[in-house]
Amino acid sequence: MVAGVLLVGFGGLGSAYLVTSASDTEPVLALAHDVQQGEVLTVDDLVVVRLTPSPELSTVAAGDIDGVVGQRAAASMSAGSLITRAATTQALVPGAGQSVVGVSLTPAQMPAEPLTAGDPVRIVSTPLAQADPPADAPDVVTAEVVSVSEPDAAGARTVDVVVPGLQAADLAAKAATGRVALVLDSRSA
């Protein structure tokens, strides 16, 4: 009899804890399905989820949905991703006077440090094989990373970079030869 009373008492305490815990959550925005970088977000792209508040997360409250709808995805995101202020932008990439160039790189042609959208990089033309280092400085194009593909079967990745439109054709021609390397510059402003 005593065990039954204790069991009912603990069950009641557990239920009270669950109700209290659930009431400490806040409604925030998340993605209903995958979106690609640059895609304009609509109401259908968003869902409301309940989340325990955390100072480490800069989520967007469900009540701020009007500030998100009509914005563009700053990066490609998977279904279920939480929406943060940094996840959306009004900017369209490439912007006026800019172009996006895809540069296919093997692991030896790029740093092992993972690249993310917005990283400042330089694409450096590399010489043909020779005995001595080249006497002239290599051609360099300054760029910004837009996105990085998953590695293919050989480990190569395509890094999409945004460059001034006037440099795009030259960079695309050099990248097509495979004789380029990517240099990651400082991420600090």
The answer to the question of residue 189 being in a domain is no
The answer to the question of residue 77 being in a domain is yes
Coil, strand, or helix at residue 87?
helix
- Residue in this structure with the two tokens 């640059």, named with its chain if needed: 38
Supply the CATH number for residue 66's domain. 3.90.1210.10
* Same domain, yes or no: 77 and 112: no
* Final residue belonging to a domain, choices 71, 89, 107: 89
* Same domain, yes or no: 52 and 115: no
The answer to the question of residue 16 being in a domain is no
| Omega of the bond leading into 27 within 30 degrees of 0 (cis) | no
Local confidence pLDDT in tens for the 189 residues of the chain? 666 666 666 666 666 566 555 568 899 999 999 988 778 899 999 999 998 888 888 888 999 999 999 988 887 889 999 998 888 888 777 778 889 999 999 999 999 999 988 899 999 998 776 656 666 778 899 999 988 888 999 999 999 999 999 999 999 999 999 999 999 998 886
- Residue in this structure with the two tokens 């008492």, named with its chain if needed: 9
Domain count, the chain: 2
The answer to the question of residue 38 being in a domain is yes
Nearest-angstrom CA–CA distance, 44 and 165: 34
Give residue 17's identity as a one-letter amino acid code.
Answer: Y
Nearest-angstrom CA–CA distance, 53 and 145: 32
Give residue 145's identity as a one-letter amino acid code.
Answer: V
Structural domain that includes position 116: 98-184
CA distances 70 to 45, 53, 67, 124, Å, are: 11, 26, 8, 37
Per the structure block, which two tokens stand in for 86?
């940094």
